[in-house]
Every structure is written in structure tokens, then in C-alpha cells.
């Protein structure tokens, strides 16, 4: 039996839901599809207030996506210190930062050609 292909839109929706479930802040979606030679279609960037919350966001994303779509990230790194965690879902790469680390690296500025959509958080 062939595996059911997961739509990028469904994945994106569930990643956002996972972030919102634990009150992640400043959610931005960078649409990279119009940019040549990118590693994925979207970046999702958000931040938490502490390493505990960063790791809670990561766990919530994994749980939400797994429950809804039976999918898991191809690779996750950065959970040891909880300052910047990268979750690679192949078509979507999620960056979960602590606020000061996000401001320092400012990765949104590296992708100036990307269309950025900011999600209003309900805190």
C-alpha cells in the first residue's frame, strides 16, 4: 500500500496549531517557493520566553503533527540547550528561538525576497 502524501498546507496548519497550543510568540511564515535553490518551501519561525518553553513548543509541534498527520520531523537539533531548535519536516523547516537569540541571528533578514506572513498570537 502506498504512503499517503501529506499536503504542505496541512503540515503548516498543524505546526502553527502546535506553536499556539503552548503560547509560542511572534510566529512568522516565510514563503521561499519563489526563491531559487532553497532547501524547503517554508520556514516557520517563532520564539518562546525560556529554554523550557522553547522545548515545550517543539514537543507540542511534534505531538500535534503526529496526532493529526502521523508524520514526524526528519531531523531535530538544538533541544539540548533550548535556545534555538531546528525541526526539519523536509518541505517546512521550523525554527524555535528564545527571543534574544532570534533577535541576534535575525534570520528573516537573510531571506529578504521571501513573502513573510505574521500570525497573530492569542496570548
Q: In sequence order, what are the beta bridge partners of 86?
A: 77, 95
- Minimal CA–CA distance to 28: which of 96, 101, 90? 96
Domain boundaries, the chain: 8-112
| pLDDT single digits (tens) 4-56 | 678 999 999 999 999 999 999 999 999 999 998 898 999 999 999 999 999 99
CA atoms within 13 A on the CB side of 107: 20
What is the CATH topology of the domain spanning 8-112? Beta Polymerase; domain 2 (3.30.460)
**What is residue 2's predicted lDDT score, i.e. its pLDDT?**
46
For the entire predicted model, the pTM comes to 0.93
Order of all β-strands in the sheet with 84-88: 75-77, 84-88, 92-98, 42-48, 25-31, 115-119
Amino acid at each position: 500500500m502506498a504512503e499517503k502524501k501529506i499536503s504542505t498546507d496541512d503540515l503548516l496548519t498543524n505546526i502553527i496549531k502546535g506553536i499556539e497550543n503552548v503560547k509560542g510568540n511572534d510566529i512568522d511564515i516565510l514563503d521561499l517557493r519563489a526563491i531559487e535553490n532553497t532547501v524547503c518551501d517554508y520556514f516557520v519561525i517563532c520564539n518562546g520566553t525560556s529554554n523550557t518553553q522553547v522545548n515545550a513548543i517543539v514537543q507540542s509541534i511534534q505531538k500535534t503533527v503526529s496526532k493529526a498527520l502521523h508524520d514526524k520531523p526528519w531531523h531535530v537539533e538544538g533541544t539540548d540547550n533550548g535556545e534555538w531548535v531546528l525541526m526539519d519536516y523536509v518541505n517546512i523547516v521550523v525554527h524555535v528561538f528564545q527571543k534574544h537569540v532570534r533577535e541576534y541571528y535575525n534570520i528573516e533578514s537573510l531571506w529578504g525576497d521571501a513573502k513573510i506572513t505574521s500570525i497573530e498570537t492569542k496570548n
